[in-house]
Amino acid sequence: MSKHTISILVENNSGALSRIAGLFAARGYNIMSLSVSETDDETMSRMTIVSGGDDTIMEQINKQLNRLVDVIKVLDFAPGESVERELMLITLGATNANRHEIIGLVDIYKGTVVAVSSGEITLEVSGRADEINDFINLVRPYGIKEVARSGPIALSKARK
């Protein structure tokens, strides 16, 4: 089984999301993450779904998505074909003693501090999913209070 990032352009209407989610559920395909938002054209949304399966399943997922009347375009990115980014908000336990250390780590990952209180610090980090995972592992010892991840969004790589 391999992991795939699928980017779907759909008509921006209320039914589209449930059609796509419904298709995955009804046919037993797996959704690891899903993110949806309007594009620059307000009549279209882009969904980015990370899914997995062998080649036959991935081919069927693609075809079944294309069959949906609301779907305008489906791109199934092979590794290396796309740029992918994910956004994470994470709140850690932080003391006066280690706050600077944490901020140092955030700088390395080009993240920012979003909020600070006496016992906690909330950070924003974006990057590839694996970088985010690395970051989480790195800060785990400080005590993770909460995490919210957007799931990856992707576009095809700009052509050289």
Partner 1 sequence: MKGSEIFVDALRREGVDTLFGYPGGVLIPIYDTLYDVKDINIVLTRHEQGAAHAADGYARATGRVGVCMGTSGPGATNLVTGIATAYLDSIPMVAISGQVTSKLIGTDAFQEADMVGITRPITKHNFLVKTIEELPEIMKMAFHIARSGRPGPVLVDIPKDVTTAIMDNYEYPETVNMRSYKPKYEGHAGQIKKAVDLLATAKRPLIYAGGGVILSGAEKELLEFAEKMGAPVTTTLMCLGGFPGTHKQFIGMPGMHGSKAANFSFQNADCIISLGARFDDRVTGDTSCFAPKAKIIHVDIDPASISKIIAVDIPVVGDVKTVLLEMNKMIAPLELTKWWGEITEWIGDGMFTYRHSDTVIKPQFVIEKFYEVTEGKAIFATDVGQHQMWAAQYYKMDHPKQWLTSGGLGTMGFGIPAAMGAAFALKAPVWNISGDGGVQMNIQELATIRINDVPVKTIILNNEYLGMVRQWQDLFYKKRYSSVCLTAQVECDGCTCERTDGGCDKRGDEREYTYVPDFVKLSESYSIPAKRITKPSEVEAALKWAHELDGPCVLEFMTDPEENVYPMVPAGAALDEMIFWEDEK
**Per rule CB under 8 A, is residue 26 in the interface with partner 1?**
yes
**Per rule CB under 8 A, is residue 42 in the interface with partner 1?**
no
Among 31, 72, 89, 116, indicate the residue that binds partner 1 (CB under 8 A). Answer: 72
**Per rule CB under 8 A, is residue 15 in the interface with partner 1?**
yes
Beta carbons within 8 Å of 3's beta carbon, 6+ residues apart = 32, 50, 51, 52
Per-residue tokens: 122: 């909330």
Q: CB-wise, 59 or 101, nearer to partner 1?
A: 59
CA distance 130 to 86: 10
| Segment interacting with partner 1, rule: CB under 8 A, options 70-78, 79-87, 109-117, 134-142 | 70-78
Beta carbons within 8 Å of 150's beta carbon, 6+ residues apart = 35, 86, 87, 88
As a three-state string, the secondary structure of 88-155 is: EEEEEECCCCCHHHHHHHHHHCCCEEEEECCCEEEEEEEECHHHHHHHHHHHHHHCEEEEEECCCEEE
| Segment interacting with partner 1, rule: CB under 8 A, options 30-38, 62-70, 131-139, 141-149 | 62-70
Among 54, 67, 158, 160, indicate the residue that binds partner 1 (CB under 8 A). Answer: 67
**Per rule CB under 8 A, is residue 69 in the interface with partner 1?**
yes
CA distance 113 to 103: 7
CB of 68 to partner 1, least distance (A): 8
**Per rule CB under 8 A, is residue 10 in the interface with partner 1?**
yes
Q: Which residues bind partner 1 (CB under 8 A)?
A: 10-11, 15, 18-19, 22, 26, 56, 59-60, 63-64, 66-72
